[in-house]
Structure 1
Amino acid sequence: MDTNQERILEKAQERVIETLARNMDLYGITMSTGLLYGTLLFQDKSMTLDEMGEALGMSKTSMSTGVRTLMDLNMVEKIWKKGTRKDHYEVNLDWYQNFIDLFSVKWRHACEQNGMSLKKSLQELNALLEAEGLSDEDKERVKLSIERIENGLEYYHWLSRLIDSFESHDIFQFVPKEEIES
């Protein structure tokens, strides 16, 4: 490949890497971790933390933190390489599964935390409703809050089922994968 062709390749890859990193921010992943993911995506070989740090101009500590985040989300895996003591990492190339893992981990946690919070509030409000001394107006305010919390619980139950459909891949029955022409 000549110099001009190499420059075109690098520019195209850099554009994708930056776009991925910005979009991963939507899921609570830092820009530097997103850049790391994008960099690993375009490698034709696994990389060590030192190689990642050199490629991105960041510290080994930053790379370690980023890799740990990506491994927790199943987007990167540690691989064994014969003849070396250093850990090597490579990206999971299945974008569908990467999204499913990222979405599921983040949203499942949010559903559980928010559901527990709503249930606790619902218990407190139901107990308050049974308490003596509430005026009719106050009872109506409590009932309205209970109704809104119950609606929230219905939503989180639905969202949990949606996450289940991603994890089981049932979602692909409703929204099939398609090949597009480039």
Structure 2
Amino acid sequence: MVDKKQEWAEYEETIEKFIQVIAKNMNLYGMTSSVGRLYGTLYFSDDPMTLDDMRDALEMSKTSMSTGVRSLSEMKMVEPAFRRGIRKDLYKSEEDWYKAFTSLFGNRWRHHTETNMEEADEAISELRTIAEKTEDEELIGTIQRDIDRLEYAKSYYRWLMRFIRVVESGEIFKYVPKEDERT
């Protein structure tokens, strides 16, 4: 005789294991594992969820749920949903992982790359100021070599920004096509 209760328990355990995998992977994108668990819970939910639903499912505070949803929304991994007759805010996960990845990747990498370019520009400016003040030829030579290194770093960051645009625009899929097992 089939024990339906046991089968459902096994199903829930299997899904929970995979949600934990998602949670661990979120660290790669600079997000906490609790936000990863939230995304996984929304992803496997057949219906949009309210903050209260999420709190109950994850046994976390409503404030944590709100913060997590905001982070996921900024990354375009969660979006608002509507259901007639429900006044509370509802959310559902972005089910297109390719879209979620390109958005998340682009957002995170763009920010860090722009910051790195600004820091390189600032370092170059400061080094040039030092070089203009000094009469030490050895220091001037060292500064010039380091400015050359920083200019090389900037060329890398410009290339990286072009790569980020290729990812964000979806052009990346011309070179590395998507696989969709759902069709």
Shared fold by TM > 0.5? yes
> Which residue of structure 2 lines up, in the alignment, with residue 137 of structure 1?
138
Report the TM-score, using the length of structure 1 for normalisation. Answer: 0.93
Kept in 1, the 8 Å contact 2:134–2:140? The answer is no
Residue identity (%) = 43
Q: Which residue identity does 2:37 align to in structure 1?
A: L
8 Å CA contact 2:113–2:160 kept in 1: the answer is yes
Number of matched pairs: 180
Q: Residues 1-182 of structure 1: matches in 2 within 5 Å?
A: 2-129=4-131, 131-179=132-180
SS in 2 for 1:78: strand
RMSD: 1.6
Matched residue SS, 1:84: coil
Q: CA deviation at 1:179?
A: 4.3
Q: Measure, in 2, the Cα distance between the counterparts of 1:54 and 1:38.
A: 15
Secondary structure of the residue that 2:80 maps to in structure 1? strand
- Structure 2's unaligned 5+ residue stretches are none
Counterpart Cα distance in 1 of 2:89 and 2:134: 66
Cα distance, 1:143 vs. partner?
Answer: 1.0
What's the CA shift for 1:180? 5.7
Residue 77 of structure 1 aligns to a residue whose secondary structure is strand
Q: 2 CA distance for matches of 1:71 and 1:42?
A: 17
Q: Is the 8 A contact 2:22 2:37 kept in 1?
A: yes
TM-score relative to the length of structure 2: 0.93
CA distance in 2, matches of 1:168, 1:12: 35
Out of 93-102 and 112-121, give the one that drifted further. Answer: 112-121
SS at match of 2:179: coil
Structure 2: which amino acid aligns with 1:9?
A: Y
Tell me the alpha carbon deviations over residues 45-86 of structure 1, each in whole angstroms, 9 at most, x when there is no partner: 000000100000001010000000000100000112211210
Inter-partner Cα distance in structure 2 for 1:132 and 1:124: 11
CA contact (8 A) 2:76 2:100 kept: yes
1:50 alignment partner AA: D
